[in-house]
Amino acid sequence: MMVLYHLHNPTAPAFVTPCCICHLDIETGQGWRCEVCPDYDVCNACYKKDGGIDHPHKLTNHPSIAERDAQNKEARQLRVLQ
């Protein structure tokens, strides 16, 4: 049934990532991911709270779809030039 849903709604995110703190879904390009822990994702709201995030590793910003596409395009262009 999910395949039919995504065929009918191609812009809907296929995989939704929940925030590890508030457990709300993180929209694409709107969260932070741990560089070490595979399943540690935090939404922007929790990341920006006054106390900050109590996590031992560095968090990196999730790229938006447009940013990811631009990075992929740039990587392809660099491969062509080599």
How far is residue 21's CA from residue 53's CA, in Å, rounded to a whole number?
9
What's residue 24's pLDDT? Answer: 94
Q: What is the pLDDT of residues 26-75, one digit of tens each?
A: 887 789 999 999 889 999 999 988 777 888 999 988 766 656 666 667 77
Following DSSP, what letter does each residue of 5-55 receive, concatenated? HHHH-TTS-SS-EE-TTT-PEEPTTSEEEESS-TT-EEEHHHHTSTT----
Q: Are 20 and 53 in contact (CB under 8 A)?
A: no
Short-list 36, 15, 34, 10, CA closest to 26:
15
What's residue 13's pLDDT? Answer: 58
The CATH H-level superfamily of 2-81 is: Zinc finger, ZZ-type (3.30.60.90)
Of residues 18 and 27, more confidently modeled: 18
Does residue 81 have a pLDDT over 80?
no
